Structure 1
């Protein structure tokens, strides 16, 4: 259970969900004006859509996402405006394959509910259509869940598969969200809150809303971080963790190491967090190994409150964040994917220098993360991972690993 979020103030820059002094958008990677969004050299219209959508404009605001202003009179649309599809067939896992949706806004919209007619035709209940007018057909919980599912879809980014199946190109696409995505996600939150007014004491709806707030906050934190030149990472404290001077000292170590990363890598992260040691080791089963930290595809890194922090842990987890940024999903359930760590290039290195039975780095994703940590700690500090207690992972003993990351930096146009 999430408890509260603390903000680390970087020099000259304060970043929060509601107030910050953020730099202008990085023109080399992303540009935003009143009508369009550009990433990886491709221009996207912000407003075009085959679905009913909320209206918004880009105005003034203290934080980047606060500049996106909704017209709340357009939050909900009539079911009569829902997209009607004739004879879609039985396989419509990717809705846009049957609707003909092509715009960035179409592809990043997830319709969780449908009306199926006797003749096989259907209407797509996109988030704006999922109003209380449909309570004769869907439960209130389902209508709220539809808003939550749309936010999660935007957060995990599988819609980007439409643009590329190349992991190196995907790395660039996953960095940025368009303002339209933030507008549509905030509209999801507002719709869910309005729907909750129909049954304010319903515990299931409150549970969905709590999960939705967390996903939305992750989305806007990633958005704000991705366009800020000065990174001021968020810190979240989970249940059972109390603020202390010791954790403050650890946070300063984390921030110092974080700011030594290339800006492009910093812009990939949403937040850091602290969990109890028990909770972080209950997330996944790693056998006899003891977890001190954990990185997540949603771009979070959590540390055990009981472990001392040193740069190798931080860079290892950032290696996972870099790997997650390259994911190309193969299925709508997000269970199958390809990424840097299972590419032919890395697998060759892994098998030559890391694949050892019984080692924590036997898995390619773990060897990739540790390989990045070993490469980066040598590059910026001139040290080896064994200097921090990580035996048998030194980059000095792994020339293919060092060559791989040199090449990866060049392919991604990252200046180290």
Structure 2
């Protein structure tokens, strides 16, 4: 029996694409199980008071996830996508158990180191695999579906974990969700997911340079050092995407560690805090179903610029509010701004990077993006300790506005839809 021919496109690869969407939802769920609960656990069970110290778990997560992104990209280009995905899920299994049985805060930090490795290896790999499968025409749609699944699961699981915590206590009930997610994901990734590197090789064989010559210097045989330099500093679109991703996740890292504590100042219940926190990734996740495909039609740059500006405005609303209604509006707007940015930045990397080093380019971009978790947690903690919780949000609003300006000035439009060819 001959092997099925490799074909690019979402419809041609619908079954595998849908399976990878489901796997990425489980990746997001691993984060959602703890986001509402851990800041409360820090104070109630471990007696922590300093914001900077409480945020150590977010910083540990962000730094290890950033490093794991690079290895995910490098190893997926070298050894294939599927082995990296399976190994990433093996790192997830101990996480919920460590959180359930933690006797001091450093067990929580260690669990988040493992979670960061899990997230870096699995999320990066599902991103690359979806870009492999769909080809150049529908990258925005593919990234929208991928990120919607992941962050929709963050929202749903955050809400469910908050409910379980209120009904049954902070431990162990919320973390049993993560244990179930890890077991199911290992089964799906190990047995049913198929390797996609052959699709990337087919894409590379069809790759053509842009008519305007913009990417002539980005040939197929760049070294790892050259890829890092282009994505980090030299290439205008790639480096603009990297800084935009970092600031976006700075806001997410800040919200992860700070928002539950900020919301608790108004004597809200755990369920209300869980709902507020779920609104942000919920709108973010659902919005990407629209914004990813929209970027395939109208282009990437203006959507990213407007999204970063909207995030800045949303943070102003949150910083100026002191009650549930204002925070609800702010988190909804923050989710909408993030939805405009998140899949579109990944699509920019897919547009510009050559298929032969796509995995490494995505890895470098995600290194910078996920360092934002650590920067947001540390910056937010330091400013909160010195000036208060609201001041931390004001600082993040200013940084987001500056990021929007950088994208507007430096990034060029990377997506030029190919003309539709008539069917033979």
Of structures 1 and 2, the one with the larger relative CO (CA 8 A, separation 6+) is: 2
Q: TM-score, normalised by structure 2?
A: 0.30
Q: TM-score, normalised by structure 1?
A: 0.30
Q: Higher helix share goes to which structure? A: 2
Q: Higher strand share goes to which structure? A: 1
